[in-house]
Every structure is written in structure tokens, then in C-alpha cells.
């Protein structure tokens, strides 16, 4: 962990450039002084084809991100990381927002290690780096 998951409306698919957004988000997470293990960082996007925004009269769009992390990080760290990520999102989508109706949102989800199952050989690559 962490996992950064983006849901976005298909009417911005050609302009969203989510690969670039993910690159910027990973940079933030990696530079958090070993708060998040590099080998656990994941990003993914879910394109939404069925949705309705507001009253449905415009070609409105939205992007909703979820940052999922394991419990135990200090409140200050969580606030700083989330604020930084949301600022990156606002900057990333700023030109799109200038040209169309667009809603951006993000939430933090913390979960207990109880009930989660993981198996990963990626972490070993970053030990002693």
C-alpha cells in the first residue's frame, strides 16, 4: 500500500492523461521519508461509461480519486500527503476545467491490516536502496 484509484467519466478519456498524473502521485508517495513502501505503491484508473452528473443537461465530467492506505500513519502525514495529492490533481486537470464542467474529488480510506491478504516480491527490490 498505498493504492491510488481514479474513477473518471469517459467523456474526458482523450484529455485526462492519467499516466502523467500517476507519475506525479508516485513521486509524492515515494518521497515521504519511507512512510510508504515503494514496492506497495499502485495506481489504477476505472473509466466510467454509465453515469449522470448534476441535472444531466450538460456534458459534465468528474474525476474521483481514492487513496487507500494501511492504518497507523500520523494525522499530520496523512493531511500533508492528501493535500499535496489533491493540489497535483487540481493542477493536472486545470486546463480541462477551464474548457468544460468538471468536478474533482478525493478521499482517504484507511483500513486495518486485519482482513487483508498480500503476497509481493516487489518489496525486496527496494530494500537497502
Catalytic residue numbers, as ranges? 2
Q: What SS3 state is found at 41? A: coil
Amino acid at each position: 500500500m498505498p493504492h491510488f484509484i481514479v474513477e473518471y467519466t469517459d467523456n474526458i478519456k482523450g484529455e485526462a492523461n492519467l499516466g502523467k498524473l500517476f507519475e506525479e502521485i508516485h513521486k509524492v508517495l515515494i518521497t515521504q521519508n519511507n512512510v510508504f513502501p515503494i514496492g506497495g505503491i499502485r495506481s489504477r484508473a476505472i473509466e466510467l461509461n454509465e453515469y449522470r452528473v448534476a441535472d444531466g443537461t450538460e456534458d459534465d465530467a468528474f474525476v474521483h480519486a481514492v487513496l487507500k492506505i494501511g492504518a497507523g500513519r500520523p494525522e499530520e502525514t496523512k493531511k500533508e500527503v492528501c493535500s499535496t495529492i489533491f493540489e497535483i490533481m487540481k493542477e493536472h486537470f486545470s486546463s480541462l476545467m477551464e474548457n468544460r464542467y468538471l468536478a474533482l474529488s478525493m478521499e482517504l480510506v484507511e483500513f486495518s491490516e486485519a482482513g487483508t491478504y498480500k503476497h509481493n516480491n516487489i518489496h525486496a527490490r527496494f530494500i537497502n536502496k
